[in-house]
Amino acid sequence: SAVISQKPSRDICQRGTSLTIQCQVDSQVTMMFWYRQQPGQSLTLIATANQGSEATYESGFVIDKFPISRPNLTFSTLTVSNMSPEDSSIYLCSVDRVSPRQGDYGYTFGSGTRLTVV
Amino acid sequence: QKEVEQNSGPLSVPEGAIASLNCTYSDRGSQSFFWYRQYSGKSPELIMSIYSNGDKEDGRFTAQLNKASQYVSLLIRDSQPSDSATYLCAVPSGNTPLVFGKGTRLSVIA
């Protein structure tokens, strides 16, 4: 199973600033995924990060707003740029790995970053 | 746009009862299906995956899949107050690793 460390766990930021979220996996993975969960909503995929290539963004998300780095097979960062209150969400990284639960294969999530923009 | 639909709830069941959570999906090509549990303020936790038509049991949890009807469900037997959470159905679709439903909020009443 994969252990994912994500930080910061929460932050309160001023509008117009940027925040970089880090995600560290305890084993090498080909792809890492970044999700957003707005208050009271489900998860929406922002982008897929592959090592050695540019991230692939989903419709509605652009690199200028959410730049992603993937310097190696165990680490990725997501930056939320020029923040506004609408960016207040939980941001989660995810990898596809065997889950701790009886060896079920699936997608495992980091603990999340709760971002509040004021 | 590929979609995953769930009743938002809340679904309230008494302790010890069976909770039944339902999910429909639009992509007929989907081959794998996942149920996640998310406690308030926590990240989603995988509780069950299912790939073949029929039932898959794991302890008090049973996932049921009917690809012809594009329907997947999760049964929780002997529901406990600790099962109170939001249950998310998720389905890979095309190049998207997981498309999530909006989740069903379950409340188990002691």
Average of per-residue pLDDT values in chain B: 93
Top pLDDT among A99 and B30 is at B30
Query: Which residues of A fall within a CB distance of 8 Å from B45?
Result: 101, 109
Residue A48 near chain B (CB below 8 Å): yes
- Note whether A99 contacts B46, CB cutoff 8 Å: yes
pLDDT of residue B93: 82
Return the pLDDT at A103: 55
CB-nearest to A104 from B48, B99, B102 is: B48
Distance from CA of B19 to the nearest CA of A (A): 20
pLDDT in tens, B45-54: 999 999 999 9
Q: Which long-range contacts (CB under 8 A, 24 or more apart) does B32-35 make?
A: B32/B91, B32/B92, B33/B63, B33/B65, B33/B72, B33/B89, B33/B90, B33/B91, B34/A106, B34/A107, B34/B89, B34/B90, B34/B91, B34/B98, B35/B61, B35/B63, B35/B72, B35/B74, B35/B87, B35/B88, B35/B89, B35/B90
The answer to whether A76 faces chain B, any CB pair under 8 Å, is no
Is A111 in contact with B90 (Cβ distance < 8 A)?
A: no
Model confidence pLDDT, tens digit, residues A9-48 = 999 999 999 999 999 999 888 889 999 999 888 899 999 9
pLDDT of residue B20: 97
Helices (H) and strands (E) in chain A, counts: 0, 11
Interval A68-79 mean pLDDT: 95
Task: Write the residue in A42, A58, A90 that is nearest to B101 by C-beta.
Answer: A42
